[in-house]
A and B are shown apart, each in its own frame.
Chain A
Amino acid sequence: MNKLILSTAALALTAGFAMADTVRLGTEGAYPPYNFIDDSGEVAGFEREVGDEVCARAELDCEWVTNEWDSIIPNLVSGNYDVIIAGMSITDERDEVIDFTQNYTQPDPSGYLAASADADIEGGVLAAQTGTIQAAFIASSGATLVEFATPEETISAVKNGEADAVLADDAYLRPIASEDDALLMLEKTELLGGGVGLGVRESDGELKAKLDAAIQSMKDDGSLNELLAKWEIGPGF
């Protein structure tokens, strides 16, 4: 009897430990509306709300960390944080290095932001952020690619004439185009990537399963669609 009580106590203790597991979420913090730093210096945006909700449903204790986009995958695999939540589209190349959960946005068409409507996107100079699906797309097209470390710099490149247009997620470019008279969205769009998913280490199967289940439950009860509509990120599920 005593032994039974002891082992239940031990079980309860280990369960307690499992509950207190902290999962660190790594994001870029420079890509509104997906993720950005708000006025009070906190991570905010669509992914902040999705991430917090996913953590609540998966009963994980989550902590937000910002990391430069360039080194966001190396820092995940070396264990500095456990999840990438940074508007990262699911692609085969990335899937070789890390694992993705199911997508929590539909494949969002990428748009062109240019200074004039007749910008040459076939053979001109196009700007994109390094290591994005858009950069890979331009590199394989006929246009010349110029890469920048941050999204902000790609916009500047168009404004100062260094590039003819910038290719990025539609949801990122639209608010910028609507507030800057000198910039406009081109009609042409490109459908790239398989939607945005959470990136986890390939060895972290347990965490991936938990996150997958949480995303699925958000899809099922429509709360994910509400967030997608609130932050104006592509179509719902």
Chain B
Amino acid sequence: MFSFCTDPDVLGQFQWLSCYLTTGKHMSLYVSVVVVLVLLAITAPTALLFGFGGAVAARSRIPPVRWFGKSYIAIVRGVPDIAFFLFFVIALDQAFEWMRHKVLCPDWTDPIRQGNDFVVCQAAKLPLSSSPQWVHETYGFFVAVLTFAIVFGAFAGNILFGAMRAVPRPQLETAEAYGLSRRQTFWRILVPQMWVFALPGLSNLWMVLIKATPLLFLLGVEDIVYWARELGGTKTSRFTDYPHGDWRMYYFAGLLVFYLIFTRISEIFLERLMQRLTRGQATTGGEAQRKAAA
């Protein structure tokens, strides 16, 4: 990076460190921080959407839809995350490839499952094995987002399902008395009022999601914990210009600070959001706000 970095052996401490922290490998670490943040920014709303869909389905009056919603929430919540991540992602990827195979290579005669192998025609590969590495990485990233969204969507679904039931019954009865249809009651009365009941659960979920990002490496996305472990590991002088001992402790300490700052900022933000959502609600918190203002 810097011009004086050509021979790290002769550098002073500060210069050595500035060279060390700007190697290509460290750049990968910094990039992975951005990747994790982007992943969270995309996953959180997607998971909320999945959860909302799950909760609405679980409340449906049509039995098959209700069964679907309830079993989605129950099954995904019941399966351990790691098992889900290891099994489901490979299965999901193979399901995509299987469907593409059926459409794109109809005259393929060999079986797709050959012993342990999963073989589809070249054109059905997802992404195509000839596509550049960044396409593979982007694809891996979106599979990661989808998996996270499905897993956390189930938890969010359960929270929202509970929150919808926690909205005081008289509110809904009043709406009906005013002649609002079921749909109107749902969107205008129930949904705006349920967030205040859902937020404590959702904020927990957000915290868990932040900490679950290291599971990314199981999906082939190189996240911060992977790079911290890789960079912190003992480096002997034969294989690097910057040999050092086992520095994983420092790297993990850095991660600790990163995660603590991140969760603290989240807490402050969620607290403000809670204040905002409580305003004018028929809850003890809303009542307290009204009295304080009066």
Contact = CB atoms under 8 A, between A and B. Distances in A.
Partners in one complex: yes
A156 interface: yes
A39 B117 contact: no
A216 B241 CA distance: 34
B116 A63 contact: no
Contacts of A37: 25, 230
Interface in A180-205: 180, 201-204
A38 interface: yes
Given A71-B86, A78-B90, A78-B94, A30 B114 contact: no
Interface string B100-127: 0000000000000011111110100100
B118 A77 contact: yes
Interface stretch (B50-58, B64-72, B173-181, B231-239): B231-239
A42 B24 contact: yes
Contacts, number: 106
A79 B113 CA distance: 12
A78 B118 contact: yes
Given A39-B25, A80-B93, 8 more contacts: A23-B129, A39-B240, A41-B23, A41-B24, A45-B239, A61-B130, A78-B93, A175-B239
A68 interface: yes
Contact of A155 (B24, B114, B234, B239): B234
A59 B248 CA distance: 40
Contacts of B116: 77, 97-98, 202
A179 B117 contact: no
A68 B136 contact: no
Contact of A203 (B117, B131, B217): B117
B218 interface: yes
Interface string A18-41: 001111100001101100111111
Contacts of B90: 74-75, 78
